[in-house]
Amino acid sequence: MKTIQTIFAITLALSAGGLHAQEKPNVIVIMADDIGFECYSHKGSEFYKTPNIDQLAATGAEFTQAYSQPICTPSRVRIMTGRYNFRNYTQFGELDLTQPTFATMVKSNGYATAIAGKWQLSPGDLDGPHKVGFDEYCLWHFAPAHGGKDEKALLPKQFQNKGSRYKSPTLFQNGKRVSDTEGQYGPDLVSDYICDFIERKKNEPFLVYYPMLLTHSPFNPTPDSIDWEKTDESREPIEHFREMVNYMDKMVGKVVNKLDETGLRDNTLVIVTGDNGTNRDLTSPFPPRGVIHGGKGTMQDAGNRVAFVANWPGTIKPGTVVASPIGFTDVLPTIAEVTGSTAPAGIDGLSVLPLTQGDLSKARGWMFQSYSKGGSGNTPYRCFVRDANWKLYADGTLFNVPNDWLEKAPVTGPEGEAHRKRLQPILDGILKDVPSRLIDRKVPVTQ
C-alpha cells in the first residue's frame, strides 16, 4: 500500500511540475529596423499609421524615454547580452558568439527558443544563431556586413552577397538555404515562420526574438503597395517607406493575432521596439517637433530614441506610461525576471518589469550609452549619461534636451551646474571601467 501511495505521490508531483513548466510566461521581443520614435502614431505622428503597435501601447505600457544604440549591430549586441558596448562589441556586423545572451539564459531554464528576421552577426557561419542559444531560426544576412573583396573572397560563394531581404529574399533556415522564395516577400516568410513556431510550441514555454527585416532601405514596394508588381520609379522614397512602416505594423499584428488564436496571449510578454533612428535620407512630419530628419548613426534623439512598448494582459495595466529612461541593457534582466531565469554575471541593465507595475523605487532614473560604429578595435567610444531632460557627454558638454534636442547649444555656467554635479559621478563611475584610449573626449558632432 505504501508503495502505491509513493508512486501516486511521485506521479502527482511530476504532473504538477509539467503543468508549472507550461505555465511559465512566454516572451516575444520584436525589434524593427531603422525606425525612430517619430514614425509611430501613438508617439504623435499623423503621417504614419501603426494601429497594432498603438493598441499594444494603449493596453500595456509605453516607455517615453527608451534608447537604443545609433546603428544596428551595436544595438543587437547590447539587447541580446545586456551589456554596454565597450564591454563586448568588437566589430561591426559580428557578435562574439561566446557571449551569453537572453536566448542561452532562458534555454537553460527549459525554454524553447527561436529567432527569425535579420541576423548580420556571424558571416559565413550558419551555426552562429545556434551558438548563442536559439534552437531554431529563419534568417537573412550571413554575408560580411561591409566587407571588402578580400573578406568576401574568403567565404563560400553563397555568403559573398547578402541578397534581397524583401522580394525574392535570400533566407537561411536552420543551416540550409530556403528554396522557392521567388516572388515572395521576406517579411511574410519570416513572420510565417514565427507563427508556425508559436503553434508548434504552444504547450511549452518559449522565447521568440523577431529582429524585423522592415523598415531598412532600400525603400521598395510592399505587397500592399499599388506598385508591388512593378516598382513605380517616379514615387518618392518616403512614399514607399511610409508603406513599409504600415507593413511592419501589420506583421506585429500578425504575431499578436497568433497568440490570440493559440490562447497564449495572457501568458505572453510582448516587447516592441526599434534598433536605431530612421534613415538619414528621410524627413518626416512630426507635429510635436515640426519635422524630424532621420538621425541614424548619430547620438542625438533622432539617432537613438525609439519606441518601446511592453504588453502583458493581466500583468501590465492598460494605459501605463513609464517616463524613466531605459536602454537596451534592460531587456535581458527583464526577461530574466519574467521567466524566472538566472541572468548572466556582469550585465549592466535592470529589469523594467517593476516600472510597469508602478514601482518607481526600482527606476534607475538615467541611462548610459557608449557608441562606436566599428567596435573597440577601431575608433574610440563616444559616451554619455542622461536622464529624462539632461545629457552629459564624456567630453563635458551638457545639453538640456527638451529645449535643444538637436544639441546645438551646450549649457554652461550656473544654469546647468546642479545637473552636471548630479550626472558626473554616474558617468565617472562607469567610465572607470573603460580604458582611457577608448573614450572619445572630442566635442560631439551635431546633426
pLDDT in tens, the chain (447 residues): 444 444 344 343 333 333 334 589 999 999 999 999 999 999 999 999 999 999 999 999 999 999 999 999 999 999 999 999 999 998 999 999 999 999 999 999 999 999 999 999 999 999 999 999 999 999 999 999 876 666 777 788 889 899 999 999 999 999 999 999 999 999 999 999 999 999 999 999 999 999 999 999 999 999 999 999 999 999 999 999 999 999 999 999 999 999 999 999 999 999 999 999 999 999 999 999 999 999 999 999 999 999 999 999 999 999 999 999 999 999 999 999 999 999 999 999 999 999 999 998 889 999 999 999 888 666 789 999 999 999 999 999 999 999 999 999 999 989 899 999 999 999 999 999 988 888 887 755 544
Q: What's the pLDDT score for residue 325?
A: 97
Q: What's the pLDDT score for residue 446?
A: 46
Residues making up the chain, counted from first to last:
447
C-alpha–C-alpha distance, residues 101 and 129, integer Å: 11
Q: What's the pLDDT score for residue 375?
A: 82
Q: List C-alpha distances in Å: 324 to 217, 301, 327.
A: 31, 15, 10
Segment (H or E) for 400: strand 398-400
Residues 6+ apart with CB under 8 A from 140: 117, 118, 119, 162, 163, 165, 169, 170, 171, 172, 186, 190, 213
Q: List C-alpha distances in Å: 216 to 40, 146, 195, 251, 327.
A: 15, 15, 22, 15, 21
The domains of the chain are located at 23-370, 380-438
C-alpha–C-alpha distance, residues 277 and 107, integer Å: 31
Strands (E), 279-319: 283-286, 290-293, 305-306, 308-311
Residue holding cell 504547450? 203
C-alpha–C-alpha distance, residues 375 and 443, integer Å: 19
C-alpha–C-alpha distance, residues 104 and 337, integer Å: 15
Residue holding cell 508512486? 7
C-alpha–C-alpha distance, residues 33 and 375, integer Å: 20
C-alpha–C-alpha distance, residues 158 and 401, integer Å: 46
For residue 1, the number of C-alpha atoms closer than 13 Å in the C-beta half-sphere is 0
C-alpha–C-alpha distance, residues 243 and 85, integer Å: 33
Q: What's the pLDDT score for residue 190?
A: 98
Q: What's the pLDDT score for residue 444?
A: 56
Q: What's the pLDDT score for residue 148?
A: 63
For 21: left if phi > 0, alpha if psi spans -120 to 50, otherwise beta; the answer is: alpha
Q: What's the pLDDT score for residue 17?
A: 36
Q: What's the pLDDT score for residue 146?
A: 76
Cβ–Cβ < 8 Å for 373, 296: no
C-alpha–C-alpha distance, residues 202 and 403, integer Å: 48
C-alpha–C-alpha distance, residues 275 and 77, integer Å: 11
Letter for the amino acid at 334? Answer: T
Q: Topology of 23-370 in CATH? A: Alkaline Phosphatase, subunit A (3.40.720)
Overall pTM > 0.85: yes
Cβ–Cβ < 8 Å for 398, 96: no
For 306: left if phi > 0, alpha if psi spans -120 to 50, otherwise beta; the answer is: beta
